[in-house]
Structure 1
């Protein structure tokens, strides 16, 4: 098994673990009265990420590895862990709004409104570059940007609605 295939296996297992954690957290949040927003675009998001991973397996599994790009990808995993630790049971791959709960403004959310999206954008570019696949990096960076444009608009509407509810409850 090549070094690239080992990296892809680890990333694949990581993504599957994240999906399991997201499902668990989503179910708990919904049981607490949370509401999912933007569910219609979720299959598009999953499709882009699955296609990215499949493309890496198809074209990258036997490629040499650019250690500089890989180091950047690994560094992003530290930021991902910080995000997961900050959000805890509120981390999910869906847009879930829990009425009455304040927005998270600690950890990386103190500096960025969407740190997880920044991490994912970096990963989508860096891992293909680590496998010498610049066209794959470009194509999926553009596709991810389109999905994030749709997603951040849906999320902004949901958060605006939540802020309005919190303001009305405070008055």
Structure 2
């Protein structure tokens, strides 16, 4: 699972301190002095703005089970990438990051697609197994609709 935090000049960000085999992550957030002066946090660093701090958000304890990867052989893979990001289903938001990378955002997760000349590399993550199944099904059905080949094999893996 990859967490990305945007760099904001007004906030110091956060540091992942430790993790364990059960999927829990201990996070320590750094509080900027500007936040204290603006009244967003009290002197102990507790949030008073009504917004939830990252350290206060409960994470799914079984996060490890909610992601998968695949390398899929298709000729002219960048064309398929553009097909995924061109006109997605109404419930899916798509973004072409560059000519070889795209992102699909679903209600319950995300799917990143990278294209080389002959392979689509797919990484997806969801809030639960049902969300992961929904993203996998969408990806497989959409690719089969775009492809003239009848047999496309998907070998979804965890590593």
TM-score in terms of structure 1 length: 0.29
Q: Larger helix proportion, structure 1 or 2?
A: 1
The higher relative CO (CA closer than 8 Å, separation ≥ 6) is in: 1
Q: Larger strand proportion, structure 1 or 2?
A: 2
TM-score in terms of structure 2 length: 0.31
Q: Which has the larger radius of gyration?
A: 2
